[in-house]
Amino acid sequence: MDAVTYSSLAALSQQVFPVSHTDNMPDSPAAVTAPWCLTLLAECVQEAQLRQLKAFLDNRGWPVRGLDILACRPDCSALRLQLDGELDFHDARLALLELAGELGVELTLQPGGTQRTPRLACFDMDSTLIQAEVIDELAKIAGVGDQVAEITLAAMRGELDFQQSFRKRMGLLKGFTETSLAEIAPQLPVMPGAPRLLRALRALGCKTAILSGGFTYFANYLKDNHLAVDVIHANQLEFDGGALTGGVIDPIVDGARKASLLQEIAEEMHLSLEQVIAVGDGANDLPMLSLGALGIAFHAKPKVRAEAPQAIDGFGLDAALYLFGLNDRQIGKLLGE
């Protein structure tokens, strides 16, 4: 299908899913009344994809009770289907992940009640808010890149204990200068969609936190220069004479610590976990991804994508806004676009 308009996408989806549509994008999507929501993300939605999805849902007895078009742009279409019927979330999510791979789209399942703006959003930093693993970048400059990268990959795959791997990696960075850190910070590439998502969350009144196994040095740089972040918890670098000692300042922010911090911040804000979401990419993010209303694996490793409640793979971080039940018109008004 060539570049689509809202009306043509509405007509196409009406053919496949005969539920109510409007000719133009409304100010807000319909209220969620079904027990489940399924969000389809694709660069350009094809009729064959929708028909295969309908057959899949029909075969499982999950009728579509409503459909909203949340986005219709040259680079992204987003459709939200409200699903009825009884389903086991774990089994349904895995089946939909497999189907999404076959169709070449993304399919994200969530309870209908979670289609709302969170009050607290917690983010991993490395490979989530930025397109890099900072410790690997430092290691390359220090000449120990291959050694540190292998330890990092093993840790992210869940093959090594994070705390042990972190201590090993920091030991290899002994002598790295603070001057070099200051030169690296401005070069870290921010993840596409991250500034837009964080600005939208702030406009919606949602507090945001970085909970990272990376370093406060770089998290603070992002907060001061690029991202609308409220709270930071990450690892502190230990210096002596302007250079890294190779040691570690406890407590190390590992997976268990991230989950604990998420709960502590929520309690301090007098929020229930149903008002909290978490976003990350690695195995050490899974504990916090399992806690809130949504746990979004972003551009994640296969193991993490398979275990996390929700996942976004082929789009920018701001695609998470569709999982809050917002359409492009609402998002544009929030951001003054």
Q: Are 171 and 310 in contact (CB under 8 A)?
A: no
Q: What is the Cα–Cα distance from 75 to 43, expressed in whole angstroms?
A: 5
124 classed as catalytic: yes
Q: What is the Cα–Cα distance from 262 to 276, expressed in whole angstroms?
A: 8
List, edge to edge, every strand of the sheet that includes 76-83. 64-73, 76-83, 36-42, 106-111
Domain extent listing, the chain = 1-114, 120-295
Q: What is the Cα–Cα distance from 105 to 53, expressed in whole angstroms?
A: 10
Provide the sign of the torsion angle of the four alpha carbons 309, 320, 260, 210, taken in this order.
Answer: positive
Neighbours of 23 (CB within 10 A): 10
| Both structure tokens of 22 | 């409007």
Side-chain-side CA neighbours of residue 210 (13 Å): 28
CATH 3.40.50.11540 for domain 120-295: no
- Annotated catalytic residue, options 2, 27, 88, 126: 126
| CATH number, domain 1-114 | 3.30.70.260
pLDDT, one tens digit for every residue, the chain (337 residues): 345 788 889 889 999 998 866 666 778 899 999 999 999 999 999 999 999 999 999 999 999 999 999 999 988 999 999 999 899 999 999 999 999 999 999 999 999 999 999 999 999 999 999 999 898 889 999 999 999 888 877 776 778 788 888 898 999 999 999 999 999 999 999 999 999 999 999 999 999 999 999 999 999 999 999 999 999 999 999 999 999 999 999 999 999 999 999 999 999 999 999 999 999 999 889 999 999 999 999 999 888 999 999 999 999 999 999 999 999 999 999 999 8
23 classed as catalytic: no
pTM: predicted TM-score of the whole model, two decimal places: 0.93
- Annotated catalytic residue, options 75, 84, 124, 281: 124
